[in-house]
Amino acid sequence: MENRDILHFLFSFVHHKNKIPMKILMVCLGNICRSPLAEGLLKSKVPEDILVDSAGTISQHEGKHPDPRAQKTARLHQLDISAQQSRPVTAADLETFDRIYCMDLDVMEDVISKAKNEEQRQKVLLFMSVLGDHGNAEVPDPYWGDMDEFENVYHILDKGCEKIAAELKSSINS
């Protein structure tokens, strides 16, 4: 059994044992820039009993920590994402997680292609959709850019994570 399979088993076990109210997955291409920032941001805004994780659609960076520029951007905003490790999204994620937020359309298509049924497809959302009337807007990938682009992405993700956190809190309290 691989580490990610063990992780999913443990998440499932903990979910059934402790009734985790919600499990959220953030997904980008390599899981080293956008989704680690989104994971760190959302974790800072929701109760600890909400499970937040991140993954990528490619395995090129598997096991690596977030890009140093993403880590620096997070640190500038009092977030520590340095312990996160990249992992590829799996079909099991569509069973484990309640909502899967994708940073762009290509990522969303890759994740949806792993879905076994319509229920799983309905869990997959474009991250920018939480910010309202953005159509097919995508979170830009800062990988090839400079620190200004990472800072811009941080602010986009922060706004979206605020909305997600507010929705989660109201759905849990109702």
Choosing from 34, 67, 69, 161, the catalytic residue is 34
In three-state form (DSSP H/G/I as H, E/B as E, the rest C), the secondary structure along 35-86 is: HHHHHHHHHHHCCCCCEEEEEECCCCCCCCCCCHHHHHHHHHCCCCCCCCCC
> Does the active-site annotation cover 99?
no
Question: CA nearest 88: which of 168, 16, 28, 14?
Answer: 28
Instruction: Tell me how crowded residue 166 is: count the other CB atoms within 10 A of its CB.
Output: 13
Catalytic, 4? Answer no
Residue with structure tokens 């960076």?
61
Residue of 93, 104, 110, 141 with catalytic role: 141
28 is catalytic: yes
* Distance of alpha carbon 174 from alpha carbon 169, whole angstroms: 9
From 28, 33, 102, 161, active-site residue: 28
- Residues serving a catalytic function are 28, 34, 141
